[in-house]
Structure 1
Amino acid sequence: MIAALERQIFDFLGYQWVPILANFLHIMAVILGIFGTVQYRSKYLILYAVWLVLWVGWNAFIICFYLEVGHLSQDRDFIMTFNTSLHRSWWMENGPGCLVTPIINSDLAIEDHHVITVTGCFLDYQYIEVVSSAMQIFLALFGFVYACYVSKVFMEEEDSFDFIGGFDSYGYQAPQKMSHLQLQPLYTAQCNLISCKIPFQGNGR
Structure 2
Amino acid sequence: MGCCSGRCVLIFLCTLQLITALERQAFDFLGYQWTPILVNFFHIIVVILGLFGAIQYHPRYIILYVAWTVLWVAWNIFICCLYLDLGGLSKESDYMSLGLTSHHSWWKDNGPGCENRDLPAAKWQSDDSPALISTLGCVLEYQYIEVLHSALQLLISLLGFVISCYVVSVFNEEEDTYLYK
TM category, shorter: 0.7 to 0.9
Larger Rg: 1
- What is the alpha-carbon distance in structure 1 between the residues aligned to residue 87 and residue 170 of structure 2? 42
Establish whether residue 35 from structure 1 lines up as the match of residue 52 from structure 2: yes
Higher strand content, 1 or 2: 1
Asked if the contact 2:113/2:138 (under 8 Å) is kept, the reply is yes
Asked if the contact 2:33/2:96 (under 8 Å) is kept, the reply is yes
Asked if the contact 1:103/1:117 (under 8 Å) is kept, the reply is no
- What is the alpha-carbon distance in structure 2 between the residues aligned to residue 49 and residue 144 of structure 1? 6
Asked if the contact 1:37/1:45 (under 8 Å) is kept, the reply is yes
* Map 1:78-89 → 2, pairs under 5 A: 79-89=95-105
Question: How much does 1:104 deviate?
Answer: 3.9
Asked if the contact 1:15/1:88 (under 8 Å) is kept, the reply is yes
Report the count of equivalent residues. 159
* Structure-2 residue corresponding to 1:99: 115
Establish whether residue 11 from structure 1 lines up as the match of residue 28 from structure 2: yes
Asked if the contact 2:50/2:65 (under 8 Å) is kept, the reply is yes
Higher helix content, 1 or 2: 2
Question: How much does 1:83 deviate?
Answer: 1.0
Question: Quick one: percent identity of the two aligned structures?
Answer: 54
Establish whether residue 139 from structure 1 lines up as the match of residue 156 from structure 2: yes
- What is the alpha-carbon distance in structure 1 between the residues aligned to residue 110 and residue 152 of structure 2? 20
TM-score, normalisation: structure 2: 0.81
* Map 1:1-205 → 2, pairs under 5 A: 1-77=18-94, 79-101=95-117, 102-104=119-121, 118-162=135-179
Unpaired segments of 5 or more residues in structure 1?
A: 169-205
- What is the alpha-carbon distance in structure 2 between the residues aligned to residue 117 and residue 131 of structure 1? 18
Higher relative contact order (CA closer than 8 Å, sequence separation 6+) = 2
Unpaired segments of 5 or more residues in structure 2?
A: 1-17
Change in Cα spacing, 1:44 to 1:138, as seen in structure 2 (3 Å) is same
TM-score, normalisation: structure 1: 0.72
Asked if the contact 2:108/2:134 (under 8 Å) is kept, the reply is no
Q: What is the RMSD computed on CA atoms of the aligned residues?
A: 2.2
- What amino acid does structure 2 have at the position aligned with 1:128? I
List, as ranges, runs of 4+ consecutive aligned residues in structure 1 with deviation greater than 6 Å.
105-108
- What is the alpha-carbon distance in structure 1 between the residues aligned to residue 164 and residue 73 of structure 2? 15
- What is the alpha-carbon distance in structure 1 between the residues aligned to residue 167 and residue 78 of structure 2? 29
CA displacement 1:4-58 (0-9 Å, x = unmatched): 1000000000000000011011101110111101111111111101100110000
